[in-house]
Amino acid sequence: MPLQKESDPMFPDRLRALRRGRNITLDQLADALNQHLAPNERPNTASQLGNWERGVRTPTYIEVRKLSEYLDVSLDYLTGKAEQDEYDLGRLFLSGKRLTFNGEALSSQNRYDIYQLIEGFMHGRQTRQRDVPIDHQEELDLGYDEP
């Protein structure tokens, strides 16, 4: 009798946690994954996704890639090869994802400008002297009037 390798529980657990954490039903996730089907590609079903979450079935690479894109996580995180403890802001600002700040959508120019500000800050931080004591306090004017 051949030995059956038990599937890695990391993928099913992470998929379930990500879906539930976003309050998405299996039906909603299936509908989202079916938005851009390739020719001859079979649509996903809630039952199929439930089997993935229970570890009964294993999705194809293409299905895992679609999941990672929709859930905004890396393939490595979804498959258990990496932890999701950091996100590269540079990649985020240069990605095609829609970004908002305090509910307002950022235009392409806004995104580029913010990226340049962060890049300048990081470059300047590397060249500033850290061992010089600061003997004054600077105020940051955010444009709010005090009551």
**pLDDT confidence tier of residue 28, bands split at 50, 70 and 90:** very high
142 falls within a domain: no
Cβ atoms of residues 77 and 84 within 8 Å: yes
74 and 93 share one domain: no
| Number of domains comprising the chain | 2
- pLDDT tens digit string along 61-119? 989 999 998 998 888 888 888 775 566 777 777 777 788 888 888 888 888 888 888 88
Instruction: Judge if 39 and 99 occupy the same domain.
Output: no
Q: Please, which pLDDT band fits residue 2 given cuts at 50, 70 and 90?
A: very low
CA 146 to chain centre: 37
Both 14 and 74 in one domain: the answer is: yes
Q: What is the C-alpha to C-alpha distance for residues 110 and 65, in angstroms, rounded to an integer?
A: 29
Is residue 17 domain-shared with residue 55, that is, in the same domain? Answer: yes
What is the arithmetic mean of pLDDT over 35-57? 93
What is this structure's pTM? Answer: 0.55
Per the structure, the complete domain to which residue 41 belongs is given by: 10-78
37 shares a domain with 17: yes
Return d(Cα 125, Cα 118) in angstroms, integer.
10
Q: Which of 69, 71, 8, 62 is nearest to 37 (CA)?
A: 62
